[in-house]
Structure 1
Amino acid sequence: MNATGITDAVRADFDTCLADADEGGALELAVGLVTSGVSAEDVLLGLVAPAQVRVGERWECGEWTVAQEHAATHVSRLTVDAVASAAPVGGGSPRHVLVACSDGEWHVLPSHILAEVMRLRGFQVRSLGGSVSPHELLSDVHQNGPDVVALSCTLTFNLPLAQRQIETCQCAGIPVMAGGPGFGPEGTWAYALGADLYAADARDAAEALLHRWPPVLCGESSVQAGAVEEYAALVRRRPELLADLIHVLRDVFPGLRERPGGSGLSDVPYPSDIPSPSGVPGPSGREHEDGTDFLGRLLDSLAAAVFVDDARVFTGQLAFASAYFSARSVEPRCLLAMTDALADRLRGSPRTLDTLSAGHRCLATREADSRRPG
C-alpha cells in the first residue's frame, strides 16, 4: 500500500473497469477507497486522472477505438462525481473560483477534476464546462463576481482563443489562473498570453490559491504585434491553404485517392476527454472529425505557434500526428510533404516560414530515427 492507499493492483482493477465500461465496478472501487479512508483528492488525482491518461495512450497507439475511449471517459466522469459526493467538503470559505475551459476546448474532465478538488478544499466553485466563449465568460463574471478564473486548456491550437478570455477577465479586474498541457511546459505559454498564475495540476492550483490569496492582477502579454498580424493572415487564408493541402496529398500520394473521404485521412476520430500524455497536443475533443478537419487542426497549430512565437506548438502537433499515423499504417511522409507545400505558399511570412522549417526538421529527424537499426 503506498502513501495514498492506491496500489498498482487497484490501478489495474480501475483500468479494467474503464476498458469494460463497467460503471458499477468503477464507482464501487473508487468510492470504496474513500470510505476506507483514502482522501477523495488522492482518488481523483492518483487514480482517475492517471487512468484517463492511459486511456489516451491506448487510443493514440491504435489499441482502442474512439468508441472505447468515449465509453471509458463516460465512466471516468461518473467516477469523479461519485467520489466527490462521497467525501466531506470543506466549508465556510469566502474564496470564489470560476472554472472554465478555454474557447474551443472540449476536454472537460481536467476542469471537472479541478472544480471538485477546489470544493474539497473549501473553495466556492462555479464551473462552466467546455468551450466557453469570451462573451459567456464575461457575462458570468459580471453576474457572479468570482475572485479568480481558473482556465483549463489541453490543446495548444486553442492558445489564441485562450488569450481573448484572459484579456476579457483582466479587463473586468479578475485575475486568471491557467492550467493544462495546452499552456506549455511550466506554463510558458500561459505567461506569454498574460495569465497571472499557472498551476500544473489541481492540487498545485488549490495550494497556490490557499497560500497566495487574494490573487492579484500581474500578468502581461508578450505576444508581439507582428505575430498577431501573421496569425490573422493564416486564419484568413485557412480555407485556401486547407484546399491546397488536400490537393498536394492527392498528387504526392495517389493511393490516398482510393480511401473514402478524399484526403486519405478520411476517418480520423478524436477522443472526447483525454489529457494528452507528456503535454503533447492531442485529440480535439470532438466526437468525430474527418481527415479535412485533421489537416485543419495542423493549420491551427501552425497559426497558434506563430501567435506565441514558439515553434514547439507546431512541432508537438506534428510529432503527435506522426505517431498517430504510424500506429495506423498511414505513411507519415505526408506530413513532410504538407509542411514543404505550406512553406512554398507562405514565402512572404517570415515567422511562419521559421515555424515550418522547425516542423520540417522535426519530421526529418523522426523519419531518420525510425530508419535506424535497433
Structure 2
Amino acid sequence: MPAFLAERLWTAVLAGDERAAAAVVRQALDDGADPEAVLLDGIARVQGRVGEEWAGNRITVAQEHAATAINERAVAVVAEHPAAAIDPSLGRVLVACVDGEWHGLPARLVAEVLKLRGWHVDYLGAHVPTPHLVAHIHRTGPDVVALSGSLPTRLPTAHATITACQAAGTPVLVGGAAFGPDGEYARLLGADAWAPDARTAADRLERHPLPRPQPDHQPIDDLPHLADQEYTMVARTRPQLVRTVFTGLENDYPAMRGYDETQRERTAEDLSHIVEFLGASLYTGDEELFSRFMLWTAGVLEARGVPARSLPPALDILGRELKDFPRATGILHCATKRLTSTPISVFGGTE
C-alpha cells in the first residue's frame, strides 16, 4: 500500500493538485492504511523525491515550493483523520526547528508520528528563536525537546539552542541532515540523543526516555578548535568575502562576463552558500562537511547546464583571500582536490 500510495500522491503533487493529493491520503486512511505508514512511507517519500527532482533541474523552485505546501496539507489530512485520534498517554515533547531553519516539514512529520505513538506534542514549527523556545520550556515543562535541522550552516545556532535547553533542565534529541550522515555533529555539540528519521526518533523515546540534565551538568560551551577564531572571522566577513570572490571570478573566469543579471545573482547566492558552508566546516572541525557540499553543488550546477569547472577557480580565489588561516585553506584545498579528481554526476553527487 505505501508504494502505491506514494505513486498516486506523487502524481497529484507533481500536477499541483492539492485536492487530489488530500483525496489520495484520505482514501488510503479510510481503507485502513496505517497513519504512520502514510506519513513516512507515503508523504515523506514523496517529499524526498521533490528534493531530488529539484536538484536534478526537473522541476522549478516554484514547483518545489508548491509541492511542499501540498505535502504539508497532506500531513494535516492525516492529523485530522479519526484514525489518528490517539489520546496522549506518554510524556510531553516540544518539537521545533532550529532558529534560521525554514524546512519545517521534517519536524512536522516527527511531531505527528510522536502524537500517533501517544505523546503530548507541542509543535512550534520552523525558524524558532532560541529565547522563545526556552521560554516555552519554562512555561510547559516538556520531558524532551526534539530539535530539527536540515542545513549544516545552522549548526552554530543549534549548538547554542542545545546548550540553552539543557541549562533549562530539558534533554535534547536532534535529527535532520544538518547533524551529519551518522549524527556525528549531534555528538560533537553535546545533544543527548540523535535520530536519523521520525520513526527512529519515536522508537528511541519509547525504548529509553532521556534523563533530565543534572544540576551539575556542564554543557559544551566551546569547541577547542574554535580558539583560532577562524570560524568567527569567516562568519563575520562573509559579505566581503563573497564580493571579493565575485570580482575575482569576473577577472579570471571570462565566461562570467557574458552572464545576464539573473545569472549574476545566482552566482552571488552560490558564493554566499559556499562561504556559509566553509564556516560550518570550520565550526565543526570537519573538512569533509565542506567537500560533501561542494560535490553536491557541482552536481546541481551540472544539472542546470553550468560547468562544475567554475568551482575550483572560486575556491582558489577564496583561498588566496584566507591565506593566513591554515584551517580554512586546508578545507578549501581538500575540496578542490575532490572536485578535480571525482567524476561529477548531473544530480547532486558523484558518479
Q: Superposed, which structure 2 residues align to 1:40-51 within 5 Å?
A: 40-51=35-46
Query: What is the match of residue 330 of structure 1?
Result: 306
Q: Superposed, which structure 2 residues align to 1:191-206 within 5 Å?
A: 191-206=187-202
Moved over 4 A (4+): 367-370
Q: Superposed, which structure 2 residues align to 1:129-278 within 5 Å?
A: 129-217=125-213, 221=220, 224-227=223-226, 229-261=229-261, 264-267=263-266
Letter in 2 for 1:165: T
Query: What is the match of residue 21 of structure 1?
Result: 16
Equivalent position to 1:301, from 277, 281, 285: 277
User: Secondary structure of the equivalent of 2:184?
Assistant: helix
- Flag the 1:14–1:107 CA change in 2: closer, same or farther, 3 A: same
Q: Is 1:364–2:336 an aligned residue pair?
A: no
Equivalent-residue separation in structure 2 for 1:81 and 1:368 (angstroms): 39
**Residues 140-192 of structure 1 deviation map (CA, whole Å, 9 limit, x = unaligned):** 11222211110001111111111111111111111110001110022111111
- Flag the 1:162–1:331 CA change in 2: closer, same or farther, 3 A: same
- Flag the 1:58–1:11 CA change in 2: closer, same or farther, 3 A: same
Q: Is the 8 A contact 1:100 1:132 kept in 2?
A: yes
Q: Is the 8 A contact 1:209 1:215 kept in 2?
A: no
Structure number with higher relative contact order (C-alpha < 8 Å, ≥ 6 residues apart): 1
Q: Is the 8 A contact 1:196 1:219 kept in 2?
A: no
Letter in 1 for 2:93: V
Equivalent-residue separation in structure 2 for 1:91 and 1:252 (angstroms): 64
Q: Is 1:74–2:69 an aligned residue pair?
A: yes
The Cα shift of 1:222 comes to 9.1
User: Secondary structure of the equivalent of 1:186?
Assistant: coil
Q: Is the 8 A contact 1:166 1:195 kept in 2?
A: yes
RMSD: 2.1
**Residues 304-344 of structure 1 deviation map (CA, whole Å, 9 limit, x = unaligned):** 11111111221121112101110111121221111111211
The Cα shift of 1:201 comes to 0.8
Q: Is the 8 A contact 1:249 1:338 kept in 2?
A: yes
Query: What is the match of residue 293 of structure 2?
Result: 317
Query: What is the match of residue 288 of structure 1?
Result: none
Letter in 2 for 1:313: L
Query: What is the match of residue 117 of structure 1?
Result: 113
The Cα shift of 1:83 comes to 1.0
Equivalent-residue separation in structure 1 for 2:247 and 2:307 (angstroms): 16
User: Secondary structure of the equivalent of 1:128?
Assistant: strand
The Cα shift of 1:225 comes to 3.1
Equivalent position to 1:93, from 85, 89, 95: 89
Q: Is the 8 A contact 1:223 1:307 kept in 2?
A: no
Q: Is the 8 A contact 1:199 1:205 kept in 2?
A: yes
Q: Is the 8 A contact 1:89 1:121 kept in 2?
A: no
Query: What is the match of residue 83 of structure 1?
Result: 78
Equivalent-residue separation in structure 1 for 2:304 and 2:265 (angstroms): 13
The Cα shift of 1:220 comes to 5.6
User: Secondary structure of the equivalent of 1:348?
Assistant: coil
The Cα shift of 1:106 comes to 0.6
User: Secondary structure of the equivalent of 2:233?
Assistant: helix
Number of matched pairs = 342
Gap runs ≥5 in structure 1:
268-290
Letter in 1 for 2:294: L
Q: 333-342 or 108-117, which moves further after superposition?
A: 333-342
Q: Is the 8 A contact 2:245 2:314 kept in 1?
A: yes
The Cα shift of 1:94 comes to 4.7
- Flag the 1:92–1:329 CA change in 2: closer, same or farther, 3 A: closer
**Residues 181-210 of structure 1 deviation map (CA, whole Å, 9 limit, x = unaligned):** 110022111111111000111111111111
Q: Is the 8 A contact 1:193 1:223 kept in 2?
A: no
Give me the identity figure in percent: 35
Equivalent-residue separation in structure 1 for 2:274 and 2:195 (angstroms): 27
Gap runs ≥5 in structure 2:
none
User: Secondary structure of the equivalent of 1:174?
Assistant: coil
Q: TM-score, normalised by structure 2?
A: 0.92
Q: 212-221 or 356-365, which moves further after superposition?
A: 212-221
Letter in 2 for 1:158: R
**Residues 4-55 of structure 1 deviation map (CA, whole Å, 9 limit, x = unaligned):** x323x43222111010011111111112111211111000000100111111
The Cα shift of 1:265 comes to 4.5
- Flag the 1:365–1:310 CA change in 2: closer, same or farther, 3 A: same
Q: 299-308 or 135-144, which moves further after superposition?
A: 135-144
- Flag the 1:58–1:368 CA change in 2: closer, same or farther, 3 A: closer
